[in-house]
């Protein structure tokens, strides 16, 4: 761990075990404030699920974590690092694009719409970032890719184009593609929402295995049962704030806030 | 077995036989037949008119087909088309990238470029550049304190051929920019977003993700653009570049064999356009290879002949 990371951790009282540390995160689009001071802790190797009504800022919060959106206020530290900045004295100095990219590459992100590169085969999708961004030798990247494809159960699809795969297969390839960068954490934005019901299971299975293997994950999801099963922490967001967070089982059985109760009663 | 059962059996048999022997009588398309007949008659008259009318002087046309001046003209036309298309594509790509940039200034500049160079007729731009040497005899770059660092007389390099390249390339770049911009816009934003999340920098995303996917939308209209450009180069006749049309003109100005020479020129343009269309077909196929749903009968047929070459290239 670098000196800067240790300094940051000391400066912000970041717990030893923290992988993602968010304090007072604010984000506005023009005059509209979408995140109104969000505090979240994600321990290394843990699974955090975020639920909440549409438009409550869940996606925006995920996107802030890997600096796809710039914060309007507050801090997010990933493994003790700011993704888009360096702290010098009291000032956050915006990093050069190159460094932002390097740090962003350490956090994988999965999307509702999979977003596989449609002009590339599955194999090309998997080796693109390792080879181009990390400058990994192609042969090594391909060997890694084959291991990852086996892990998500798609060894025979290396030469296929995304269009030839089902939604569930595409999302599993997308997970393998994110894993190919050996990320410190994975962010999932409604990974199963675009899938036909019978395909949801295969993606959740892969995610379950990942959780067991100790991957740090933040999952925005509507699959309450899944969140309850594999989540170490459940967060309910509404209107740009964290309304309630805690142990998934306790929270689902006995929500403290009326807003949580009302939301759960609608989706369960 | 009762007679009733046997009867029933026979009935079942005949029902399935009926199904097997049913004949489909295609819809009678009288309109189509009448139309076809009319067109055939029309074609007969047109062909006869062309073949028999002595004004066309086919022998003369044939004798000029490979005439040295015509060949030189054809060469110049092709050279102009290729150079202009290459320059316009590069310039157009840069302008398209400016047009989708987050910087208002780059965006605005690109907008004005497209507005101007698409708006002013190509012929006027051509004559303007040709006359530039009359308006501005020197082009020089001076820096404050340093003085003149670069100076060149426009007459030295503004040959007619060069003016033609500059004028038509700038003009064509305006069209190409719009085509490429539309192509970039048609790539779903999730593609660039996923690439960003993987840590790819902006330029790499453009080069590796956005532009290659835009190609599928860019190639078909670019083919049309190239064909248009090929014909547009005949405008250079006005500034005395000896292209195909100019060469023909200078011959029939002497011999008055106008129509045969126009036939020669048209035949060459048609021949080149046909070859370009074939090239366009292969390019489209190449850039559409990740989408086999659009495979035509011709594709399937070609794939059977060429073998699985295209696919095995795609394998890693
Ligand atoms: N790029 C953007 N520009 C303007 N408003 C946005 C943008 N992205 C999201 N929003 C707004 O922010 C709010 C929260 O959106 P989002 O984070 O996508 O919510 P969720 O994922 O919880 O459904 C919504 O009201 C949305 O309209
Ligand atoms: Mg969302």
Catalogue all structural domains in chain B, each as residue range(s) with its CATH number.
Answer: 65-289 (1.10.3720.10)
Tell if the CB–CB gap between B190 and A142 is shorter than 8 Å. no
- Looking at the fold, whether A23 and A85 belong to one and the same domain comes out as yes
Tell if the CB–CB gap between A132 and B316 is shorter than 8 Å. no
Q: What is the pLDDT of residues B216-226, one digit of tens each?
A: 899 889 999 99
- Looking at the fold, whether A90 and A20 belong to one and the same domain comes out as yes
**Which residues have CB under 6 Å of ligand 1?**
A 29, 34, 52, 54-60
Share of chain A above pLDDT 70, in %: 100
Residues B48 and B37: their CA atoms lie apart, in Å, by 17
* Chain A contact set for B202 (CB, 8 A): 97
- Looking at the fold, whether A73 and A85 belong to one and the same domain comes out as yes
Tell if the CB–CB gap between B208 and A128 is shorter than 8 Å. yes
Residue B305: what pLDDT? 61
Residue B311: what pLDDT? 44
- The pLDDT-based confidence of B157 (bands split at 50, 70, 90) is confident
Tell if the CB–CB gap between A68 and B292 is shorter than 8 Å. no
- Looking at the fold, whether A135 and A40 belong to one and the same domain comes out as no
- Secondary element (H or E) of residue B98: helix B68-99
Number of cross-chain residue pairs from A and B with Cβ atoms under 8 Å apart: 89
Domain at A98, CATH number: 3.40.50.300
Burial class (CB in 10 A: 0-12, 13-18, 19+), B189: exposed
Q: Which of B244, B310, B241, B316 is nearest to B282 (CA)?
A: B310
Cα B74 from chain centroid? 18
Closest C-alpha to ligand 1, atom 13: A55
Closest C-alpha to ligand 1, atom 7: A29
Q: What is the pLDDT of residues B199-241, one digit of tens each?
A: 999 999 999 999 999 998 998 899 999 999 999 999 999 998 9
User: Higher pLDDT residue, B298 or B285?
Assistant: B285
Tell me B26's DSSP state.
Answer: P
**Mean pLDDT score across all residues of chain A:** 94
Residue of B186, B189, B198, B316 best to disrupt the A interface, most CBs of A under 10 A: B198
B200 → closest Cβ in A101, A118, A142? A101
- Looking at the fold, whether A221 and A232 belong to one and the same domain comes out as yes
- Looking at the fold, whether A92 and A43 belong to one and the same domain comes out as yes
Instruction: Report, as an integer, the average pLDDT of B65-84.
Output: 95
Residue B5: what pLDDT? 55
- The pLDDT-based confidence of B300 (bands split at 50, 70, 90) is low
Residue A44 lies in a domain: yes
Tell if the CB–CB gap between B196 and A161 is shorter than 8 Å. no
User: pTM here?
Assistant: 0.82
- Looking at the fold, whether A211 and A263 belong to one and the same domain comes out as yes
- Looking at the fold, whether A50 and A176 belong to one and the same domain comes out as no
Shortest alpha-carbon distance between residue B193 and chain A (Å): 8
Is a pLDDT exceeding 90 seen at residue A229? Answer: yes
Is a pLDDT exceeding 80 seen at residue A4? Answer: yes
Q: How many domains does chain A have?
A: 2
Instruction: Report, as an integer, the average pLDDT of B239-267.
Output: 93
Tell if the CB–CB gap between A104 and B213 is shorter than 8 Å. no
Nearest residue of B to residue A100, measured between CA atoms: B199
Give the domain range for residue A130.
116-182
- Looking at the fold, whether A127 and A101 belong to one and the same domain comes out as no
Rounded to a whole number of angstroms, the CA Rg of chain B reads 30
B195 touches chain A (CB under 8 A): yes
Instruction: Report, as an integer, the average pLDDT of B74-79.
Output: 96
Nearest residue of A to residue B194, measured between CA atoms: A115
Instruction: Report, as an integer, the average pLDDT of B136-161.
Output: 75
C-beta of residue A231 within 8 angstroms of C-beta of residue A224: no
Q: Which atom of ligand 1 is nearest to the CA of A58?
A: 22
Domain termination residue (choose one: A135, A150, A182): A182
A45 Rama sector, left if φ>0, alpha if ψ -120 to 50, beta otherwise: left
Is a pLDDT exceeding 50 seen at residue A115? Answer: yes
- Looking at the fold, whether A167 and A246 belong to one and the same domain comes out as no
- Looking at the fold, whether A201 and A230 belong to one and the same domain comes out as yes
Domain termination residue (choose one: A138, A157, A182): A182
Q: What are phi and psi of A216, to 5 degrees?
A: -75, 125
Residue B54: what pLDDT? 81
Among A57-61, B136-140, B244-248, where is mean pLDDT lowest?
A: B136-140
Q: Which atom of ligand 1 is nearest to the CA of A63?
A: 17
**Mean pLDDT score across all residues of chain B:** 86
* Chain B contact set for A174 (CB, 8 A): 194
Give, in order, the Cα–Cα distances in Å from A55 to each of A70, A223, A246, B172. Answer: 18, 17, 22, 45
A142 → closest Cβ in B191, B198, B316? B316
Residue B316: what pLDDT? 32
Domain termination residue (choose one: A144, A166, A182): A182
Q: What is the pLDDT of residues A136-159, one digit of tens each?
A: 999 999 999 999 999 999 999 999
Burial class (CB in 10 A: 0-12, 13-18, 19+), B250: middle
Is a pLDDT exceeding 70 seen at residue B272? Answer: yes
A132 → closest Cβ in B188, B200, B202? B200
Instruction: Report, as an integer, the average pLDDT of A83-102.
Output: 88
Residue A111 lies in a domain: no
- Looking at the fold, whether A31 and A75 belong to one and the same domain comes out as yes
């Amino acid at each position: 761990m670098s000196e800067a990371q240790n300094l940051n951790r000391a400066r912000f009282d970041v717990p030893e075990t923290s992988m993602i540390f968010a304090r007072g995160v604010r984000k506005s689009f023009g005059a509209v404030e979408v995140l109104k001071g969000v505090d979240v802790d994600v321990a290394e190797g843990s699974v955090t699920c975020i639920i909440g009504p549409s438009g409550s800022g869940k996606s925006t919060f995920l996107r802030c974590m890997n600096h796809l959106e710039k914060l309007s206020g507050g801090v997010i530290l990933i493994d003790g690092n700011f993704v888009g900045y360096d702290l010098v004295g009291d000032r956050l100095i915006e990093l050069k694009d190159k460094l932002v990219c390097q740090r962003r590459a350490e956090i994988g992100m999965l999307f509702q719409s999979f977003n596989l590169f449609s002009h590339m085969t599955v194999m090309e999708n998997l080796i693109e970032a390792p080879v181009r961004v990390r400058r990994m030798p192609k042969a090594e990247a391909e060997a890694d890719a084959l291991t990852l494809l086996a892990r998500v159960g798609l060894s025979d699809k290396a030469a296929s184009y995304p269009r030839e795969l089902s939604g569930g297969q595409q999302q599993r390839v997308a997970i393998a593609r994110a894993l190919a960068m050996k990320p410190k954490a994975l962010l999932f934005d409604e990974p199963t929402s675009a899938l036909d019901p019978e395909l949801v299971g295969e993606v959740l299975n892969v995610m379950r295995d990942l959780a067991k293997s100790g991957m740090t994950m933040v999952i925005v999801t509507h699959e309450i049962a899944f969140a309850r099963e594999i989540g170490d922490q459940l967060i309910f967001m509404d209107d740009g704030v964290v309304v309630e967070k805690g142990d998934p089982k306790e929270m689902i059985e006995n929500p403290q806030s009326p807003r949580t109760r009302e939301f759960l009663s609608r989706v369960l | 077995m009762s007679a009733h059962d046997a009867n029933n059996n026979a009935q079942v048999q005949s029902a399935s036989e009926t199904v097997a022997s049913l004949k489909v009588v295609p819809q009678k398309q009288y309109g189509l037949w009448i139309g076809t007949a009319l067109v055939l008659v029309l074609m007969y008259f047109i062909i006869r008119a062309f073949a028999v009318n002595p004004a066309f002087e086919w022998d003369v046309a044939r004798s000029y087909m490979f005439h040295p001046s015509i060949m030189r003209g054809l060469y110049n036309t092709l050279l102009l088309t290729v150079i202009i298309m290459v320059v316009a594509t590069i310039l157009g790509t840069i302008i398209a990238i400016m047009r989708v940039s987050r910087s208002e200034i780059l965006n605005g500049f690109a907008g004005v470029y497209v507005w101007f160079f698409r708006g002013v007729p190509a012929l006027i731009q051509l004559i303007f550049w040709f006359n530039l040497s009359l308006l501005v005899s020197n082009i020089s770059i001076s820096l404050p304190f340093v003085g003149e660092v670069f100076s060149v007389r426009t007459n030295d390099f503004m040959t007619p051929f060069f003016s033609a390249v500059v004028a038509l390339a700038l003009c064509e770049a305006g069209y190409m920019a719009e085509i490429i911009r539309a192509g970039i816009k048609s790539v779903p934003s999730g593609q660039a977003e996923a690439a960003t999340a993987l840590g790819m920098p902006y330029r790499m995303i453009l080069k590796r993700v956005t532009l290659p996917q835009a190609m599928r939308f860019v190639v078909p209209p670019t083919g049309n653009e190239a064909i248009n450009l090929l014909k547009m180069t005949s405008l250079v006749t006005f500034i005395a570049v000896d292209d195909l049309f100019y060469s023909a003109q200078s011959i029939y100005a002497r011999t008055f064999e106008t129509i045969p020479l126009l036939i020669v020129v048209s035949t060459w343009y048609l021949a080149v356009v046909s070859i370009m269309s074939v090239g366009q077909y292969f390019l489209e196929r190449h850039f559409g290879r990740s989408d086999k749903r659009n495979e035509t009968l011709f594709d399937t047929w070609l794939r059977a002949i060429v073998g699985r070459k295209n696919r095995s290239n795609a394998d890693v």
